[in-house]
Chain A
Amino acid sequence: MNEEEPDGALVRRVLAGDTDAFAGLVARHRDRGLRFAASMLGDPSEAEEALQDAFVRAYRSLGSCREPDRFGAWLLQILVNRCRTRGAGRRRRARVFVRDDVALERAAAAPGGDRDWREEIELALAQLDRLQREAFLLKHVEGLDYDAMARVTGARIPALKMRVKRACDRLRVMLREVDDDGAR
């Protein structure tokens, strides 16, 4: 497998019957996919499951990928779906996922010394509305522009802008104290 091959070439090879070429796409997009899914779901092993699921679906519907050179964006769209499904499914099982006072109480009850910056961020992210978290991650971490975000999520741009703004407002408030202490 040639790791220098662009996505488009790898996709065409897979479609021509070279299944092994798909491993190149996995290697190339795995880290970024895991980054999004882990921040979105708040649980690394769930994130791996969601990402694996997304890759398998991508493989099976690879024929319908209209822009092979933009495989990454297409995969991200599938991954966003998978994360939404897992989030909704979890709710139906009545498992507590995000609820302000639960997160706060767990944080207060946790033993140990100072939490690090990363953990504060993860707690804050978990308290955001799911769609706001998703929009925030796509915009500020994955660096998508609003047109790309609209294609990936299926949402309208005004709604996406509102979600990002609300997310930033709330994150600023939640993390302000940590930031003021400066000790990171």
Chain B
Amino acid sequence: MNVRKLTFALLLAAPASPARAQVERLTGRVDEATRAAVVAVVDSSRSAGVPAVPLVNKALEGASKGADGARIVAAVRALAADLGRARAALGPAASDPELVAGGAAVRAGVSPAFIGTLRARYPREPLMVPLAVMADLVARGVPADTAAESVASLMREGVRDADLVAFRQSVERDIALGAPAGGAAAVRLLTGTPTTSTLTPGDNTNRLPRKP
């Protein structure tokens, strides 16, 4: 692996600079009508503080997956709306990665008001990882408000990035091994009550196997 060559190539792929440069990436990937519609969304979102890169990425994703123009435009609009809400909650100083994670959290059902509270409580700390962990927990079936509260309460106890990740991975493992993702299990994760109480009797999917 030649990391340097690859780095150079990737940095060329997605310049963070002007929106014009961004929409150029659409040329040849989508038809003219779709391109024009996406450009319109990008332009109108800019005033709301929404960056162009994620919007263009979403359009390119749709193109790559063979989606039709209308679907692509709808997806870009939905993402722009999510990012707009995240921007309103996270403030003008939020970085693009924070916004993208915030948009994912909003899409997952975490309320923008909650995100705003988190920002107010931690004005100078990057929130990308906590927001990403919330979104990922919801994607695994944990209810949004439970996911949000778990992460917030861990942060209150001083837990930060790598350990928030470990928490999310632990939850995923438990869910994969048979614990229900919904309310009961998630509450258990928060309060630490014994795990066996949430397992179905006779469910031994998370036991070590016994030789028959």
Contact = CB atoms under 8 A, between A and B. Distances in A.
Interface string A103-132: 010011000111100001001100001011
Interface string B171-212: 001101100000000000000101110010000101111110
B158 A163 contact: no
A184 to B, nearest CB: 13
B208 A159 contact: no
Interface of A is mostly: helix
A169 interface: yes
A108 B209 contact: yes
A159 B177 CA distance: 24
A129 B209 contact: no
B209 A132 contact: no
B78 interface: no
A97 to B, nearest CB: 14
B160 A156 contact: yes
B191 to A, nearest CB: 11
A113 B195 contact: no
Contact of B167 (A166, A170, A176): A166
Contacts of A100: 173, 176-177
Contact of A163 (B163, B204, B211): B163
Most buried by B among A114, A129, A166: A166
A68 to B, nearest CB: 32
Interface residues of B, number: 27
Contacts of A155: 163
B173 A169 contact: no
B170 interface: yes
A173 to B, nearest CB: 5
B157 interface: yes
A42 to B, nearest CB: 15
B159 interface: yes
Contacts of B209: 104, 107-108
Interface string A87-102: 0000000000000100
Contact of B207 (A112, A114, A115, A174): A174
A156 B166 contact: no
A147 interface: no
A159 B211 contact: no
A169 B188 CA distance: 10
A4 interface: no
B157 A162 contact: yes
A107 B208 contact: yes
B117 interface: no
A172 interface: yes
B60 interface: no
A17 interface: no
A113 B118 CA distance: 54
A169 B189 CA distance: 9
Nearest to B193: A169
A23 to B, nearest CB: 38
Top 4 nearest A-B pairs by Cβ distance?
A: A158-B158, A159-B163, A108-B209, A177-B207
7 contacts: A104-B208, A107-B208, A155-B163, A161-B157, A162-B159, A169-B195, A174-B208
